[in-house]
Amino acid sequence: MVKLTGRKKEKRKKGLLVSVVNLQNKVKIDKKYIQRVAEEAVSLGSRNRRKLGQRECEVGIIFVNNSYIKRLNKRYRKVNRTTDVIAFPMEEHREFTPSIPFSSRLLGDVFISAERAKVQAKDFRHSIKKEIAILTIHGILHLLSYDHARRKDGLVMRNKEQEILNQIKDFKK
């Protein structure tokens, strides 16, 4: 398990606690914007909104550098290369904490390489703000059990990402 120091609880909105942690210094991170993106992603991405809405939810968004995310990728996915986003859903790891009563549903943590996001934004010719929003949404959808391993599932996930992006709309190209 990855230990995070300096993790501060952010303001709760609509039963959702989004903690944004910035562990890198290459890209400026707008924490309030990331919180809003995460709230939209959880709200619109939840397949069963009624069930999700019965309990408060928590999600962590952690911004790291390329070397940090590469180490995570190697350790947990056995892939020795940098990636843009990795999600760690708590649902998959329930066996590690069976006797702990949680007051809220821990969705999990999303790690984003801010360095990689900056490069991808340039490659795709859109703003870093938009790229970070895309990666945040993508990671949260993984926390909500979306996957893209099979083509059909990938299309469902891509459509949901676009639907959420369309709701945000406040970034340049």
pLDDT (tens digit, 9 = 90+) per residue, 61-116?
999 999 999 999 999 999 999 999 999 998 654 444 444 444 557 899 999 999 99
pLDDT at residue 36 above 60? yes
* Number of structural domains in the chain: 1
Residue type, 117: A
Listed range (6-20, 67-81, 126-140, 145-159) with the worst mean pLDDT: 6-20
Q: Is residue 1 part of a domain?
A: no
Q: Is residue 73 part of a domain?
A: yes
Q: Is residue 79 part of a domain?
A: yes
Residues 6+ apart with CB under 8 A from 27: 63, 114, 115, 117, 118, 128, 132
Question: Which domain does 76 fall in, by range?
Answer: 14-168
Average pLDDT over residues 16-38: 95
Quote the distance between the C-alpha of residue 7 and its chain's center. 16
pTM of structure: 0.83
What percent of the chain shows pLDDT beyond 70?
76
Q: Is residue 50 part of a domain?
A: yes
Angle among Cα 125, 126, 131 to the nearest 5 degrees reads: 120
- CATH code of the domain containing 45: 3.40.390.30
Q: How many CB atoms lie within 10 A of CB 32?
A: 11
66: three-class secondary structure by DSSP: helix
pLDDT at residue 55 above 90? no
Question: What is the pLDDT of the chain when averaged over all its residues?
Answer: 83
Which helix (H) or strand (E) is 141 found in, with range?
helix 128-143
Q: Is residue 5 part of a domain?
A: no
Q: Is residue 7 part of a domain?
A: no
Q: Is residue 6 part of a domain?
A: no
Q: Is residue 2 part of a domain?
A: no
Average pLDDT over residues 18-31: 96
